[in-house]
Structure 1
């Protein structure tokens, strides 16, 4: 006969997971390459032993795991398409054009403001805060030093902009992971996030404008020209390339589902590559082939595999590389492992047992959102990984939000506003450690100036307590909760 787990029993798999993830951060350079996935599976094993001892049959457990994985399948398909889209947008010159024209708006008097905008443009185009910071960020930190701005402030502006894209770009891993954990779709999640994201970004830009206008700038020569020249010498950077993202945006606004939308965006990228970038096509496929054959080969390669383009500037080269669908496999592996862990934790009632004390206290919408924010920050600090800070709280609070009558996008937005945003503020988190090393600025030095990252979790709590744009379910809450459990 099945019995309800004790609180300590329910907490044990979480503690094991935190311990294993902490070890992984210290022992493995790339924790996403497999060590964190195994940690999730080992923690799931511990949870499986506990719920088996409590009387839950294996057949029910595996049924729950399969259903949980099935719920994440659309997100995994979207991730694969995003890998392909990133590849074709690279070889078509769409992403390089965004970088090229984004760098055009640099102005010494508004440098910090501009750094946020440029970081945001590039990270939205690439979906990666890491590559944005490692390339454009490194150039901007050098420019900031040259004109006499404290490098900690410059680092804060770069990170603020880069994490805007990491938060809202459909190419971002976390932007796909959060709705998958909460049970909503990608574009609903992105649209809903703008309610808290736009005010956070506006406040960030105002603060950097205030700081910027209190500095005396000397006009100096900067090497942005060299970066632009490298892109210009490699790609045909025509403004017509912006038709691709504009068309995709229009398709999204027409509420076409994510999977066909992204497939159209991918195909458009391939078509524009053939029209605008014949040299890139020949470079990828080899010049011994006919252009028709080279076009097909390059398009396929960009969709499924590695593409690396060379320019005279090493800083640009790192940004001009993608791995297609193959590059998404580690993230999909993480999602599968997380679904196994989440399925076992839910099947045995372990997650609900952990959330019981929180839910007794969290009576209001503001309280449950605040509890979610605190939990995400806790996992960022203890598990040292932003993916885990989204995955575990997402599974923990999913049912609780439904029971409170809140739509899944309320949870997914909270996960993004807190889990994604605070990861870079913790020195021993993979994000904090990486960005500190890349920019050459200590995490605690740039932390006070990462205004966007600091404001975002506060903004989502304010919206919750004041009931601003909080989406609620209809009258069929019990049936929705029940369906989420099957």
Structure 2
């Protein structure tokens, strides 16, 4: 099948030759990357994320470069495109690097324990699961990280849920529901920043359109957990001081 004729388009006042690929040529690097990652996971199992996956990603990039060379794309142009893509994702990468430091700073300075303490004042077995969703969502929006929320507030709420006699699975589900909702809605979230950066959109436009699906979902989730709260038979009381002491010691 003959190649399409080169197209010329003006970009930053420079004429760039671009050979348009057909769909199968464009998918070669994708199939190669997926295949190598699958084989890597098959061979190394859980240890694949320890370092070998990074080499697979580099090999996938090499396959893409070979396809580019085959279609007469210069090495200089490839580097320029890579630099442009990295530039567009710099904000998300910085957020990803700093979110861990932010969570640690909040924990050491007492911000997260204070949030937990005052949030726990309103908890009782009937509204506990719904409160888990709300508290986790607020903390996740503030930190921009669902994992940070689950590793801090989530641990405290699960401990309180056990003290109240509430199912561990229900409590964990409520925490994760709120945490992932907050992660999607937070302008500090790495994935929320990365998606519009890669697509060339605006951050808050991205968040606005995500509310179309995420807000109804979290409302349905809240209704479900409220109903569960009225139906479960919980006994005991939350030992707030013990939970906060365990967080301070961690």
Specify the TM-score bucket, using the shorter chain as the normaliser.
0.7 to 0.9
Is 1:155–2:150 an aligned residue pair? no
In structure 2, distance between residues paired with 1:187 and 1:224: 37
2:101, 2:155 → 1: CA distance?
27
Contact 1:120 1:161 in 2 (8 A): yes
Distance 1:15 1:207, change over 3 A: same
The counterpart of 1:54, out of the listed 71, 75, 81, is 71
Give TM-score scaled by structure 2 length.
0.74
- Are 1:98 and 1:125, in contact at CA under 8 Å, matched by a contact in 2? no
CA contact (8 A) 1:145 1:151 kept: yes
Q: Is the 8 A contact 1:82 1:170 kept in 2?
A: no
Shift in Å, 1:191: 4.5
Q: CA separation of 1:167/1:11 partners in 2, compared to 1, >3 Å: closer, same or farther?
A: same
Give distance in 1, aligned partners of 2:249 and 2:145: 15
| Contact kept in structure 1, 2:146 and 2:182, CA below 8 Å | yes
Secondary structure of 1:184's aligned partner: coil
Cα RMSD (Å) of the superposition? 3.2
Task: List aligned pairs for 1:71-470, cutoff 5 A.
Answer: 71-76=88-93, 86=103, 89-90=106-107, 92-218=109-235, 220-228=236-244, 230=245, 313=246, 315-316=247-248
Q: Is the 8 A contact 1:102 1:122 kept in 2?
A: no
Query: Alpha carbons of 1:147 and 1:98: their partners in 2 closer, same or farther (altered >3 Å)?
Result: closer
Q: TM-score, normalised by structure 1?
A: 0.41
Partner of 1:11: 27
Contact 1:79 1:176 in 2 (8 A): no
Tell me the CA shift for residue 80 of structure 1: 5.9
- 1:34 deviates by 5.3
Distance 1:137 1:93, change over 3 A: closer
Q: 1:100 to 1:186 in 2, by over 3 A?
A: farther
The structure number with the bigger radius of gyration is 2
Q: Distance in 2 between matches of 1:316 and 1:178?
A: 35
Structure 1 residue 317: deviation in Å?
5.0
Contact 2:117 2:240 in 1 (8 A): no
Equivalence for 1:26: 45
CA deviation vs aligned residue, 1:431-457 (integer Å, no higher than 9, x gap): xxxxxxxxxxxxxxxxxxxxxxxxxxx
Change (3 A) 1:215 1:166: same
Counterpart secondary structure, 1:171: coil
- Aligned residue pairs total 231
Can you list the C-alpha shifts for 1:65-119, whole angstroms capped at 9, x where unaligned? 2222222234445556666655654554333322322222221111211121222
1:39 CA displacement: 3.0
Q: CA–CA distance in 1 between the matches of 2:203 and 2:52?
A: 27
Distance in 2, Cα, partners of 1:184 & 1:80: 22
Cα distance in 2, alignment partners of residues 34 and 105 from structure 1: 45
| CA deviation vs aligned residue, 1:316-338 (integer Å, no higher than 9, x gap) | 555xxxxxxxxxxxxxxxxxxxx
For structure 1, the 5+ residue unaligned runs are 231-312, 319-486
Q: Are the equivalent residues in 2 in contact too, given 1:99–1:122 (CA < 8 A)?
A: no
Contact 1:135/1:316 (8 A) holds in 2: no
SS in 2 for 1:16: helix
1:95/1:126 contact within 8 Å kept: no
Q: Using the TM superposition, give the Cα deviation of residue 172 of structure 1 relative to its aligned residue in structure 2, in angstroms.
A: 2.6
For residues 90 and 159 of structure 1, what CA distance do their matches in structure 2 show? Answer: 19
